[in-house]
Amino acid sequence: MTTIVEARGLTKRYRGVTAVDGVDFTIARDTITGLLGRNGAGKTTLMQLLTGQEFATSGTISVAGGTPVENAAVLQHTCFIKESQRYPDDFKPKHVFAAAPGFFPHWDAAFARELADEFRLPVDRRIKKLSRGQLSSVGIIVGLASRAPITIFDEPYLGLDAIARQAFYDRLLADYSQHPRTVILSTHLIDEVGALLEHALVIDNGRIIIDSPVDALRSHAATIAGPADAVEHAVTGLDVLHRERLGGFVSATVAGVSDDSLARARAAGLEVGPVSLQQLIIRQTGGSPTEHEEISR
Amino acid sequence: MTTTTPTDYAGGPLSTKARPLATRILTIVRLLFANPSTAIWTPVLILTFILLMNIAIYAIIRANIPEDGETANINGGAFFIYVYMLVVAVMTINQAFPLSLGYGSTRRDFLLGFGVFAIVLSIGYSLLLATATAIEEATNGWGVGLNFFTTGVLWQTDWWQAISFSVLTFLLFFSIGAATASVYVRWKAIGMYVFWGALVLIVIGGGALVTWLGAWGQVGAFFVWAGVLGSAAWSLIITAFCALSAWLILRRATPTQA
């Protein structure tokens, strides 16, 4: 596996605020990585550092073998779709799509048209007049049709309904399998993208707190539920992230489990279930669920 | 599914060589001209409208005032287009800069592309104004003696001097717009307060200084000495200063939302 992004001690400090705090991580080429975390955790700053839009206070970041800052050789491979991208006031989506091929040599115009149909985007309407969701779909279409070797989506779905979001995930996955590329996707909607992600980077307070393949995260966590005594016995020695009590029953979320311990729990008549990625991350970041479930502003 | 043209980077290493500078600059120029309505159609339409209004009004006046009443009238209505280009510069940089960076352009390539955009428009509009002036002179002021484009001494020199003067003036306005927009893009509202505050201080301070030194005569003498085209050529210093400022400011700017 080739490394395409490498950060070492990467730090970004604004007046009094450390948005990104000495992070080290690598991203493998041609994978879909989820950059997950709460609002203000540092996701956007990290993505801006990745694309040379923001300047690191200290530490280094290397993308496709070089620094991204003012480096045309690196930036030509990137496409950064922001949460609320600004477009020139008089632009219509068709103008954006007409100018895009210059930036993205792998631009697929037919694909862009197809996506515009699917997202029911009026390409001949001024962008200022588009709804929030339609505006988001302009970004999503550019991100997908650009086929940029490094495509970065920063919460690209604001205002999109569940059907359109699903269409985005389906299209991303289908196109990614045909044209493998490095995709970095920041999102709050962890469970929605759970099936999409191969790797998860969870950032909290400017620090990377989870950096792991998603499969490994999932397979090492489980919920064990049943009578309190039996559950407590079963989870002895395991990393208990969370306990929920209901009368004499307990449901425990555990991490770092082995197949053996789960088999023993099952044999003891306990209920063993999977943990959703979202639950797992909420437990590990110690937040309350509602704060993670913000969909739109 | 769609066309399955295999992307040429698939599997292989990503190119570590940037595309040619000309290609990158052309990409920006193409973006800035993707919708020509703001920079071309709207101002040309406004210009045409004002011209028609002026011809109509002038025809009414001429019908009541004898032809030999006053001869040296200068309308200068076409001047708005210079100011309009300053606004185009401000809007273009403010709105297209974040988009270009998101699409993988460098700040440098963006500003160079904007420079080409400004030069193309400056030359284009200067040719348009020169042509309109020629028509105005040939038709004796659109048949009613109107001097809409003929701004006195400016167009009575050689045509190439007049066009150069116009191009230089356009470039001056574009560069002032670019510098102003850069301040806004980098420092937002606070930058604007400081910028305009400082500008007012400099202009008033400069005026006060010249008055105090009793040097207004010398200032006037400078422009007489430099001549029309010379004065415009001297404006290149301001143009270059503004362009350089825009570059120095933008190269550390981060596109922010809204």
Which two structure tokens, joined as six digits, stand for B138? 């040939």
What b/e string do you get for B132-143 counting C-beta neighbours within 10 Å, with b at 16 or more? bbeebeeeebbe
Q: What are the tens digits of pLDDT across the range B184-240?
A: 999 999 999 999 999 999 999 999 999 999 999 998 999 888 887 888 889 999 999
Does residue A285 share a domain with residue A233?
yes
Please say if the pLDDT value at position B1 is more than 50: no
* Closest chain B residue to the Cα of A124, Cα to Cα: B35
Q: Which long-range contacts (CB under 8 A, 24 or more apart) does A21-26 make?
A: A21/A205, A21/A206, A21/A207, A22/A58, A22/A59, A22/A207, A23/A59, A23/A203, A23/A206, A23/A207, A23/A208, A24/A208, A25/A201, A25/A208, A25/A211
**pLDDT values of chain A reduced to their tens digit, one per residue, 297 residues:** 689 999 999 999 998 899 999 999 999 999 999 999 888 889 999 999 999 999 999 999 999 999 999 999 999 999 999 987 889 989 999 999 999 999 999 999 999 999 999 999 999 999 999 999 999 999 999 999 999 999 999 999 988 999 999 999 999 999 999 999 999 999 988 888 988 999 999 999 999 999 999 988 888 889 999 999 999 988 888 888 888 888 889 999 988 888 888 888 999 899 999 888 888 888 877 654 443 333 333
Contacts of A178 in chain B (CB under 8 A): 1, 4
Q: Are A106 and B101 in contact (CB < 8 Å)?
A: no
**B152 DSSP 8-state letter:** G
Query: What gap in Å lies between CA B3 and CA B21, rounded to an integer?
Result: 30
Does residue A284 fall inside a structural domain? Answer: yes
Q: What is the pLDDT of residue B2?
A: 44
Chain B residue with Cα closest to A145: B2
- The answer to whether the CB of B134 falls within 8 A of the CB of B40 is no
Same domain? For A163 and A232 the reply is no
* CB-CB neighbors (< 8 A) of B4 in chain A: 178
The long-range contacts involving B216-222, CB below 8 angstroms and separated by at least 24 positions, are: none
Contacts (Cβ under 8 Å, ≥6 apart) of B164: B229, B232
The structural domain count of chain A equals 2
Residues A225 and A245 in one domain: yes
Contact state of A70 with B30 under an 8 Å Cβ cutoff: no
The confidence score (pLDDT) of residue A292 equals 36
Q: What does the pLDDT read at residue B66? A: 65
Cβ contacts below 8 Å, chain A against chain B, sum to: 138
Residues of B in contact with A98 (CB under 8 A): 34
Does A257 fall in a domain? Answer: yes
Let me know whether A285 and A185 are in one domain: no
Mean pLDDT of B139-167: 79
A110 → closest Cβ in B2, B10, B24:
B2
Angle at B246 between CA B256 and CA B38, to 5 degrees: 70
Say what the pLDDT of residue B73 is: 62
B20: chain A residues, CB-CB within 8 Å: none
Whether the CB-CB separation of B86 and B170 falls below 8 Å is answered with no
Domain that residue A250 falls in: 220-292
pLDDT of B99-140, one tens digit each?
999 999 999 999 999 999 999 999 999 999 989 988 988 898
Out of A71, A80, A111, name the one closest to residue B102 (CB): A80
Average pLDDT over residues B151-169: 77
CATH number at residue A142: 3.40.50.300
d(CA A183, CA B218): 65
Final residue in a domain of this structure, among A159, A186, A213: A213
Q: Which of A71, A79, A86 sits opposite B95 (nearest CB)?
A: A86
Most confident of B3-7, B48-52, B240-244: B240-244
Alpha helices in chain B (DSSP H): 21-32, 42-64, 80-102, 107-138, 159-213, 216-250
Are A72 and A45 a contacting pair, CB within 8 Å? no
The label of the residue with tokens 């099936």 reads A195
Q: Are A163 and A276 found together in one domain? A: no
Q: Å from B19 to nearest chain A CA?
A: 7
Predicted TM-score (pTM) of this structure? 0.90
Which CATH number goes with the domain that contains A261?
A: 3.30.70
pLDDT in tens, B66-75: 665 555 566 6
Q: Looking at the structure, do residues A272 and A250 belong to the same domain, yes or no?
A: yes
Strands A32-36 and A17-28: unpaired
Instruction: Please report where in the chains the tokens 């311990």 appear, as a residue.
Output: A261
In this structure, chain A runs to a length of 297
Task: Please tell me the distance from the alpha carbon of residue B18 to that of residue A9, in angstroms, as a whole number.
Answer: 27
B2-11 per-position pLDDT tens digit: 444 445 555 6
pLDDT of B155 > 80? The answer is no
Say yes or no: A204 and A225 in one domain.
no
- For A88, nearest residue in chain B (alpha carbons): B95
Domain edges within chain B: 21-250
Domain boundary, last residue among A182, A213, A244: A213
* Distance separating alpha carbons of residues B234 and B237, to the nearest angstrom: 6
Q: Residue B142 pLDDT more than 80? A: yes
Same domain, A193 and A233: no
SS3 A223: strand
Q: Which of B23, B99, B254 sits opposite A48 (nearest CB)?
A: B254
pLDDT value at residue A239: 85
In sequence order, which residues have a C-beta less than 8 Å from that of residue A216 and are 6 or more positions away?
Answer: none
- Whether A83 is covered by a domain: the verdict is yes
Q: Is there a single domain that holds both residue A154 and residue A280?
A: no
